[in-house]
Structure 1
């Protein structure tokens, strides 16, 4: 089980789930990630005027991380953030499956 799940994920399992998965040698995980760019416009009072989410490529996300945009002073304020959403589905020899979603 430890070869497929990290300690934080295992800590969330019920004892029944641990018992089912503990000795299952056929566990297999498949995952998929999406990168989301969020652009937010905020007025001088801190109120969000608009928010736009756009799916981008991994290359665009890495470029954003390596070279973040310069935030200009003044109002309205434009903020851009990037996140990676990952979903992993793990199945074994039994009919039990686990789904893990992470946002980084």
Structure 2
């Protein structure tokens, strides 16, 4: 009776490991493109696209008079200043990999890293 229990546990563990490996490979394939640009959108509309190979510091006029300062340095992106009350976007820090985002909900701003 215990042998059947162990077989079921081994099959379950093997299944979980197989699914985990599959998801890991899918994630690696999805984000394997080199990051080349950051796309900045406000209210779902892309307002600017910046090259990650060029350092820049820009001020974005966001929703309802809000502002976000976007800094591109050393192929990384961060929000250094924001007019929102909670500053979650500022505290998120630097992003650099394809598919990563910095989101400022009060200002309706999203900075998303995209491939070249």
More helix per residue: 2
Please give the TM-score of this superposition, normalised by the length of structure 2: 0.24
More strand per residue: 1
